[in-house]
Amino acid sequence: MTEQKYKFLSTPRRPVEDRRFVAGRGKFIADLDRPNMLHVAPLASHHAAAVINGIDASAALAMPGVVDVITGAELAAAVQPLMNGLNTPNVRRFPLAVDRVRYAGEWVCAVVAESRALAEDALEKIIVDATPQPFILDAEAALLETSAPVHPEHGSNLLLDRKFVWGPVDDDFDAAAHSLSFSVTWGRNSTVPIETFGVLAEWNGWDQMLDIWASIQMPKYADQIARSLDLPGNAIRVHYDVDVGGSYGVKRGIKHSVLVGYVARKLGCPVRLIEDRLENMRAGDAHGPERKFDITIAFDQDGTVRSMKMRALDNAGAYAGRAPFQLGKPISAIVGPYQINSVAYHALSVTTNKTVQEAVRGFGQAPTNYAIETAMDRVAKYLGMDRLALRQKNLIRKDQFPYLIPSGSYYDSGDYHAVIDKVLAAADYPAMLAERDRLRDAGMMAGIGIAACLEPSGGNSSFEPLLNQSNQTSTWMESCQVNIDALGKLTARIHTTSSGQGHETLVSTVLGEVMQIDPELIRITRPNSLESLPGNSPVGSRMAIMLGGAAARAGEKLKAKIMAIAAHRLGVAIDQLRYEGGDVLAHDGRRFTWDEMVELAHRQYHNLPDGMDPGLASFDIMQVPTGDALPVDDKVQMYPCYSFEFHLLLVSFDPIIGRPDIHSYVIGHDCGTVINPAIVSGMTYGGIAHGIGAALFEEFAYDTNGQLLTQSFLDYLMPSSHEVPAIQIVKHCTPSPHTVFGQKGSGESGYLGAPAAVSAAINDAVSGLGIHFEKLPIRMSAISDAIAAKTS
Partner 1 sequence: MNIELNGSEQINTSPANLWESVIDPVVLQRAIPGCISMTETGEGQYQMTLELKVAAVGGSFEGAVSLSEMNPPHSCIITVSGSGTLGTGGGNATVAITEGDDGNALISYQAQGEVSGLVAGVGQRILMGVAKHLARQFFTALKKEFAAA
- Contact yes or no for 359/384 (Cβ under 8 A): no
Task: Note whether 28 and 22 are within 8 A (CB).
Answer: no
Choice between 122 and 305, CB closer to partner 1: 122
Q: Is 658 exposed, middle or buried (0-12, 13-18, 19+ CB in 10 A)?
A: buried
Give the residue among 751, 732, 741, 656 at the shortest CA–CA distance from 694.
751
- Which residues have a Cβ under 8 Å from the Cβ of 3 and sit 6 or more positions away? 9, 10, 11, 673, 674, 733
Report the nearest approach of partner 1 to the CB of residue 56 (Å). 12
Rounded to whole angstroms, the Cα distance separating 649 from 479 reads 40
Min CB(30)–partner 1 separation in Å: 19
What CA–CA distances, in Å, run from 586 to 476, 616, 721?
Answer: 40, 21, 58
- The minimum distance between CB 287 and partner 1, in angstroms, equals 14
Nearer to partner 1, 632 or 714 (CB): 714
Q: In a 10 Å sphere around its CB, with 0-12 CB exposed, 13-18 middle and 19+ buried, how is residue 342 labelled?
A: buried
Helix-strand-coil percent breakdown of the chain, rounded to 5? 35, 25, 40
Print burial letters for 380-404: b (CB count within 10 Å at least 16), e (below 16).
bbebebebbebbbebbbeeeebebe
Q: Which helix (H) or strand (E) holds 313?
A: strand 305-317
Compute the least distance from the CB of residue 712 to partner 1, in Å. 6
In the bound state with partner 1, the residue whose beta carbon lies nearer, of 124 and 302, is 124
d(CA 534, CA 557): 18
Pick 604 or 705: Cβ nearer partner 1:
705
> Contact 249/191 with Cβ under 8 angstroms?
yes
How crowded is residue 726: how many other Cβ atoms within 10 Å of its Cβ? 9
Which is nearer to partner 1, 70 or 264 (by Cβ)? 70
Measured between alpha carbons, how far is 659 from 652 in angstroms, rounded to an integer?
8
- We find the least distance from the C-beta atom of residue 112 to partner 1, in angstroms, to be 17
Least separation, in Å, of the C-beta of 281 and partner 1?
A: 9
Q: Closest approach of Cβ 532 to partner 1, in Å?
A: 40
Q: How far is the CB of 40 from partner 1 (least distance, A)?
A: 16
Smaller CB distance to partner 1: residue 181 or 705?
705
In our burial notation (b when 16+ CB lie closer than 10 A, e otherwise), range 487-500 reads ebebebbbbbbbbb
CA distance 512 to 506: 10
Residue placing its CB nearer to partner 1 in the complex, 48 or 547: 48
What are the angstrom distances between the C-alpha of 24 and each of 28, 143, 239, 649? Answer: 11, 49, 21, 36
Ramachandran bin of 537, using left for φ above 0, alpha for ψ from -120 to 50, beta for the remaining angles: left
Whole-angstrom distance, CA of residue 373 vs CA of residue 333: 13
Q: What one-character DSSP code corresponds to residue 733?
A: -
Measured CA distances, 332 to 123, 188, 362, 456 (Å): 46, 22, 12, 7
Least distance between partner 1 and beta carbon 59 (Å) = 11
User: Are the CB atoms for 489 and 524 separated by under 8 Å?
Assistant: no
Q: Which is nearer to partner 1, 46 or 568 (CB)?
A: 46
**DSSP 8-class letter at 109:** E
Cβ closest to partner 1, residue 104 vs residue 601: 104
Quick one: 16 or 43, whose CB is closer to partner 1? 43
Specify the residue, 270 or 706, whose C-beta has the smaller distance to partner 1: 706
CB of 713 to partner 1, least distance (A): 10
CB nearer partner 1, residue 230 or residue 703: 703
Q: Is the bond preceding 456 in cis, omega lying within 30 degrees of 0?
A: no
User: Contact at 8 Å (CB) between 297 and 382?
Assistant: no
Closer residue to partner 1, CB minimum distance, 63 or 158: 63
**Integer Cα distance of 137 and 516 in angstroms:** 58
In the complex with partner 1, the residue whose CB is nearer, 189 or 461, is 189
CB 710 to partner 1: min, Å: 8
Smallest gap, in angstroms, from Cβ of residue 350 to partner 1? 23
- In whole angstroms, the minimum distance from the beta carbon of 117 to partner 1 comes to 13
Q: Compute the distance between CA of residue 410 and CA of residue 651 in angstroms, rounded to an integer.
A: 35
Residue 517 CA to residue 525 CA, distance in Å, equals 18
CA 234/CA 210 separation, integer angstroms: 9
Rounded to a whole number of angstroms, the minimum distance from the CB of residue 715 to partner 1 is 7
CA max distance for the chain: 93
Residue closer to partner 1 by CB (options 135, 262) is: 135
Which chain residues interact with partner 1 by CB under 8 A? 44, 46-47, 104-105, 123-124, 127-128, 278, 282, 703, 705-712, 714-715
Q: How far apart, in whole angstroms, are the C-alpha atoms of residue 217 and residue 501?
A: 11
One-letter-per-residue 3-state SS of 493-530: ECCCCECCCCHHHHHHHHHHHHHCCCHHHCEEECCEHH
If the CB atoms of residues 593 and 712 are measured against partner 1, the closer one turns out to be 712
The number of CA neighbours under 13 Å toward the Cβ of 103 is: 25
User: 68 near 58, Cβ under 8 Å?
Assistant: no
Element (H, E) at 387: helix 387-394
Q: How far is CA 510 from CA 519, 645, 699, in A?
A: 8, 24, 39
Q: Provide the minimum distance between the beta carbon of 63 and partner 1 in the complex, in angstroms, as a whole number.
A: 13
Shortest Å distance, C-beta 781 to partner 1:
13
- In the bound state with partner 1, the residue whose beta carbon lies nearer, of 283 and 756, is 283
Question: Minimum Å distance from CB 120 to partner 1?
Answer: 9
Q: How far is the CB of 278 from partner 1 (least distance, A)?
A: 7
- Which CB, 123 or 395, lies closer to partner 1? 123
